[in-house]
Structures are given as C-alpha cells and as structure tokens.
Structure 1
Amino acid sequence: MKKEGLHLEQIPKLDTISKEDFVKNYVRPQKPVVIKRLIEDWSAFDKWNLEYIRKVAGEKTVPLYDDRPISSDYKFNEPHTEMKMADYIDLLKAKPTNYRIFLYHLMKEVPSLQKDFSFPDIGLRFIKQLPMLFFGGENSKVFMHYDIDYANILHFHFHGKKQCILFPPSQSKYLYKVPHALISREDIDFTNPDLEKFPALKLAKGYVAELEHGESLYMPEGYWHQMTYLTPGFSMSLRATPRTLTNFSKAVYNLIFMRHFDNYMRKLRGQKWIDYKNKQAVKRTHQRNDISL
C-alpha cells in the first residue's frame, strides 16, 4: 500500500493466534501483527470506554500534553497543563483537541482497574509492572519515535479508532532521526509528509494499521511508531524485554548515557542544542543517502 507518498504495507489482522505461531511467525522474525480477540477474556474488553473511565477516575487530576515541539522550555516527558479526568473526557467528546495523556499511571491511581486485565500467555517475557495508559482526542498525534528500552510491545486500544504507522529499525537511515534522541524531526507529518523537503522518506518502507476497540498490536523491539487518534479513545501497552543482547545493550546505553548527556546539553546550550540536532538530522540523513537539495 502507498499512503501519501510513503511506502506502507498493511499490518496483517488475525482473529486469534497460538503462542507457538505468534513466536514463530512474528516475534522471531520481528514482524508486526494485529490480533483482534487476544484479550476477549479481560474484563476491560467489555468494560473499558471513556464513560467507564469517567466513572472510576473522574476526580483524578491528570497531566496533559499537546503537539508543541520539544524545546529547551518543555522536555519530552514534561506535561503542558493538567485538568480533572472528567473535564478532559468532556473535552474529548465535545471537539477535536491536541491534548493527550501520555504514559499515565492510572492503574496506580485507581487500583480497581488492575482487576480488568492480565498478562497474556503469548511467548513474551513481560515486565511485570503496572502498565501505563495513553489518551487522545480526534486527530491528535504522537510524533514518530521509538522506545528508550527497546521493548517488545503489545499495544491495546479501547474506545474508537487509532491509526498506527510503524517502521522497523532498518529504516532509521531514512527517517530523519534526531541525534542523541529517540525521535524523528517533529515537523514531519507522517500522515501527509512533505517529500520535497524530506525526500529520504520516499525510500522508507513501513507498515500501517487501524486499531479498533479491543484489538492488540504487536510492535517488535526498536520499531519506530507514530499514532493518530482517528476518534477520541485510549490505549494501554504491556512491555517485554528485548530478545537480543544487541538491543539490550542499546537500551542500557540509552538509559544510562544518552538521555543524561542530552539533558546536560539542554541545560548547557538551551535552544541552540535543539536547533543543532534538528539541522543535523537533515544533514546526516541526506549524506547517508547521497541526497543533495
């Protein structure tokens, strides 16, 4: 499939799959897949929607993020504002909004939600910690990035629809990766990219899927992902450890060295450091692919 100039293949959707087939056909070869009925036995499959979250967590104050670029003033994981969950859900239902909830420990705040899910016996070594939740309004986007810990991820969507664009690590050289960071250039709209300004994207080959309520997306370790909420909704991720020593080493490097070096340079040089990295993302990508503009 070709979408807006990007070469994107539809991620296969299966009703169910055995543990053996999942490991053989997707985990070992590191290929994404959507499983429609993996979590039918969860209480969350039937119960979780925005109204249920309002009922159990409406009075909780939640951190909100919008789509402003990372700068010396706002870091990747620093919220831009906050409001009561009930008010946020009202906002989601009233109109499109860029405000998202990102990496939120709702299950810690509302322990009753912990009874609504379990770790699937699917052949992954899950990190047994409380999962975080993600909420978004219609047309809100999460920019293209990969995760710092190189985890294998099962991503479950609830209430509405969500589009997911993925690229394997082998495509990093085409994605305008920002140095000393886990993101591509934030001014690239992967749902409608400017291929004249960012021509290396023409060479990238990735995947796309639309998730509906209760569906599970497997994202292999180190995969780039960009999410767009097509309707208001929310998602949850379970994480599993990297399978290879190489990716485990990359995760350790990211956690121990890279993010601390980047934070130090932000403090030292401020916005000049951010601007330098964005320029280098274009320069290095074009040099790597022998592109001249």
Structure 2
Amino acid sequence: MTNLHDTAPSADAGTWRLGDLTVNRVGLGAMRLTGMPWDEKPKSRDGAIAVLRRAIELGVDHIDTASFYFTPTRSANELISTALQPYPENLVITTKVGPGRDRDGEFAFARPDRLRGQVEENIRQLGLDHLDVVNLRWGAAMGKETGSLAEHFGVLADLREAGLIRHLGVSNIVADQLTEAMAIAPVVCVQNRYGLTDREDDALLALCAEHGIAFVPFFAVTTEVPGATPRAGDTVPGEAAVAEVAAAHGATPAQIRLAWTLHRGDHVLAIPGTGDPAHLEENVAAGALRLGEDELALLDAVGT
C-alpha cells in the first residue's frame, strides 16, 4: 500500500511518533462526526462517512475517537468502522477510556474494574483486535481533577501487557499525574485542552517535549467550550491579532489558530474535529502555513 506521509496534504505539517507509530501532525477528531447535543438536527450519516473518507484521501492517518462519542442516532466508532474498513495499514486510531456515558448523555467516571470493558467496547465497535493508543481521560468533567491515577493507569498497563493495547496516553491531567503515569508504563501522548487563548498547559507542553511525548491539544481552534452560549457583548480574545495574520496569509482565523498551535513544537499534534468536508480541507491546509517570527510574537502576546 502507498504510504501517504510524504505525498498528501496532511504531510505538509510534518510527522511525529506515537511510540513506534509515525503519524502526520494534522489528524482528525471524531467527536463532531455524530453532531453535538446542542445541534438543532442530527448530522448526516452520509456526510460523516464522506468526511472520514476524504480525510484518508488527504493523508490523514491519525483519528481520535471514543465509545462515548455518540448521539441517540450516531456513534463515532461505528461511523469510522463503516467508512474506513478495511483500514489503511498506516492509519492510527486513538481512543479514550475513563468517562462512561449513559444513553441520556450523562457522564460518570469509571472505576478501575470497568476499564477493561471500555477497552473491549472500543475494540468491538471499531472492528479491531487491539487498540493502537488508549488515553486514560482523567475525570468526568471539563476541568482537571487532582488525585492519583495509578490504579486506573495500572489497569491499562496490564491490558497493554496482555496485547489489547499497543500504546498508552493520558488526557486532562496535570504534570504530577503525567510523572506518576510514566513511572507505571511508557506514555506516548498527552491530550489536554490547549490553544491560543487557553495557555494553562504551556509548562506541561514543554515537559512533554523533554520526554519526546506527543502533546495533542483538544479544542485548539475554538475560543470557548463548545456548546457554551455567548453572552451579549462578548468579544473573541485576540480577534484583531488573529485577523491581521489571517489576512496576510489569505487564511481563516481558525486556520491561524491551528497553525499557531502546531508552531508550539514539533511534538504537537492537531486533531481538529469537523463534520464538514470543506472545513476538513481547511484544517488540513492549515498545516502548510508557516508563520513568521513577528507574527508568532503577535499571537503569543494574546495568551499572556
């Protein structure tokens, strides 16, 4: 099979590694494929499948998903399986476990003894015999939660030894929790909320670079928590600076935010989500943008 790393648009941002797996730095997050709870109507199933297949055409070889990405009529894992099987040999599918979600959409954090069931559910839904990368998503809420993750991560380490998981990552964590996880088993990625105006994890991003760990931000393009209702008079932080740089490159503000994120280090991987093929193409194209030092300084000042 032809390797797309060096020939497709997704390769324009370069590559990084998740353990022994090499991926293009612009991937795809699957959360939006199903539509979101606040959407007025469900996403088109055919449209979601088209996005996934177009992503492969563009050289996307890193898709992030979870069994708890679902709506009453859609499941991200099922969409991926339907659209892409037989899977390209260089496709890396990363998943998350930890939060459990009932059919009403309510989240609860799983006990350690429930994690094997969550891993097996992802394997079944995706039609695989093992998972490439499993992230322990710490906590059930959007905010970070303190405390030891050793018992939970230890269960995943055992499943890795049993051959159900190839590599492990952590998500929604703080530096001490990363250190704790690394003492139990190798960590190939950290997936935390991070972006131009959400810079709380600058130090954690640098710590990942020191250890050769991929830093995979979620919500890197958005300016607020998805689904939040803007208040009257709200302005977008850094809007003027982003617009100035976007105009210079003939790009969209979202592309500039994504490009800035990728400029934070070679170990930074992007997984922007979308249910629209045109938006997907814009996200992938953002990987080719090269921002100048003055532009980066202007944008850096937004989040400080």
**TM bucket by the smaller chain?**
under 0.3
Higher strand share: 1
Q: What is the TM-score when the length of structure 2 is the normalising length?
A: 0.24
Q: TM-score, normalised by structure 1?
A: 0.24
Tell me which of the two structures has the higher relative contact order, counting C-alpha pairs closer than 8 angstroms and 6 or more residues apart.
1
